[in-house]
Amino acid sequence: MSSIVVNNLKRHFGPLKAVDGLSFEIDAGSVCGFVGANGAGKTSTMRIMATLDYATSGTVEICGHNVLNAPQKVRSLLGWMPDDFGNYDNMTVLEYLDFYARTLGYHGKERQMRVQEVMEFADLLPLADRMSNKLSKGMTQRLCLGRSLIHDPEVLIMDEPAAGLDPKARVELKNLIRLLSEEGKTIFISSHILSELGEMCDTLLFINGGKIVHHGDSDSLKHSSDISGGSIYDIKVIGDPSKVASWVLTAPNTQLIEERKEGGRIRIDSSTPEVAARVLQGMIKDGLMITEFHKEQRNLEDAFIDILGQLESGNTQVTTPPPLPSVLASSAKN
């Protein structure tokens, strides 16, 4: 079952097509990373999903409810954590969360218990008496997360939650997201820190120019070839490491990327195992004493840049999700 269904979503600001025909589904209980350069359309998409903006056309459903036709129902099911949020002078962390619990309809002991639960989860109890507008960036982000969780939503949308955080605060945030995922919440999170998204997310959704350019898991990107179809291999040898560089100079299908203390990194022009095997055979035949020969995983930043490079070069064979089932597509039009 899908918690989020987006069908042919468009958001235009005059001639600017901020969102230009997005269609995707996010399974219930999964974590999806939303990736794109500044101005790619991420925030516009998430604001529409969170009922804070209107689409030019297309539909968004959260847990089966259309964000345009049933915004109040959607808001009861959805937690929104923006990249920046309003705060109040002369209000402590406890008072801040208690205020939002009141606005969400909690009363008496139920309200007190809910605020206590959220503060425990987000590690805000030590900050209960601190002024809410005098917190560090990491503490502020935990407060924003706590606010978005007050009503125990099924879906959580997070816009750049790790921006500006120090390493310790990023680890704490990542642990909280993992715990929320284990509770079965659907999490849709945008970030520029792709390495951390790869660790947290079940799927990654890349967007560029308001369009989807990739929707899949991180492992498929890490193990895929680069823009020209090649792969990087790390090689270690016994003896003189410069022999790797010397061998590569005269070998077909290979280029030296970097000399290293125990060997080097080379690029093989093909990602097929057969070509890599022939390169290894050639090295051994020519007397190199190989102790390690392994294919490196690409980092997600390189993969994203490669996808953009394919688009710029006119290659349209980028990874995109299949179209929505006909039943969903027809219901989205009605």
In a domain, 101, yes or no: no
* pLDDT bracket for residue 228 (50, 70, 90): low
260 domain-assigned = yes
Q: Indicate if 66 and 189 belong to the same structural domain.
A: yes
Asked if pLDDT for residue 326 goes beyond 50, the answer is: no
Residue closest to 80 by CA, chosen among 128, 147, 17, 137: 147
Residues 216, 173 within the same domain: yes
The tens digit of pLDDT for each residue in 90-106 reads 899 999 999 999 999 99
211 assigned to some structural domain: yes
User: pLDDT, tens digit, for every residue of 181-219?
Assistant: 999 999 999 987 776 777 788 888 888 888 888 887 766
Show the 3-state SS of the chain: CEEEEEEEEEEEECCEEEEEEEEEEEECCCEEEEECCCCCCHHHHHHHHCCCCCCCEEEEEECCEECCCCHHHHHHHEEEECCCCCCCCCCEHHHHHHHHHHHCCCCHHHHHHHHHHHHHHCCCHHHCCCECCCCCHHHHHHHHHHHHHCCCCCEEEEECCCCCCCHHHHHHHHHHHHHHHHCCCEEEEECCCHHHHHHHCCEEEEEECCEEEEEECHHHHHCCCCCCCCEEEEEEEECCCHHHHHHHHHCCCEEEEEEECCEEEEEECCCCHHHHHHHHHHHHHCCCEEEEEEECCCCHHHHHHHHHHHHHCCCCCCCCCCCCCHHHHHHHHC
What is the count of structural domains for the chain?
2
Same-domain check for residues 76 and 179: yes
Question: Do 243 and 210 have their domain in common?
Answer: no
The encoded tokens of residue 43 equal 């925030």
303 located within any domain = no
Asked, for residue 107, whether it belongs to a domain, the answer is no
175 occurs within a structural domain: yes
Query: Mean pLDDT, to the nearest integer, of 78-84?
Result: 91
Q: Which long-range contacts (CB under 8 A, 24 or more apart) does 130-134 make?
A: 130/92, 130/93, 131/89, 131/90, 131/91, 131/92, 131/93, 132/87, 132/88, 132/91, 132/92, 132/93, 132/95, 132/96, 133/87, 133/88, 133/89, 133/91
Residue 103 lies in a domain: no
For 150-184, write each residue's pLDDT tens digit: 999 999 999 988 888 888 888 888 889 989 999 99
In a domain, 76, yes or no: yes
Question: Do 146 and 54 share a structural domain?
Answer: yes
**Statement to judge: residues 156 and 199 lie in one domain:** yes
Same domain, yes or no, for 202 and 315? yes
Q: Note the residue count of the chain.
A: 334
145 and 280 assigned to the same domain: no
pTM above 0.85, yes or no: no
pLDDT band, residue 76 (cuts 50/70/90)? very high
* 175 and 243 inside one domain: no
* Same structural domain, 153 and 183: yes
Confidence category of residue 320, pLDDT binned at 50, 70, 90: very low
pLDDT at 138 over 80: yes
Q: Which domain holds residue 245?
A: 231-295
> CATH number, domain at 290?
3.30.70
| 142 & 20 share domain | yes
Tell whether 152 and 182 lie within a shared domain. yes
Q: What is the pLDDT of residues 236-249, one digit of tens each?
A: 999 999 999 999 99
pLDDT tens for each residue of 301-316: 666 666 666 666 665 4
Dist CA 251 CA 255 (whole Å): 8
Q: What CATH number is attached to the domain comprising 195? A: 3.40.50.300
Whether residue 251 is predicted with pLDDT greater than 70 in this model: the reply is yes
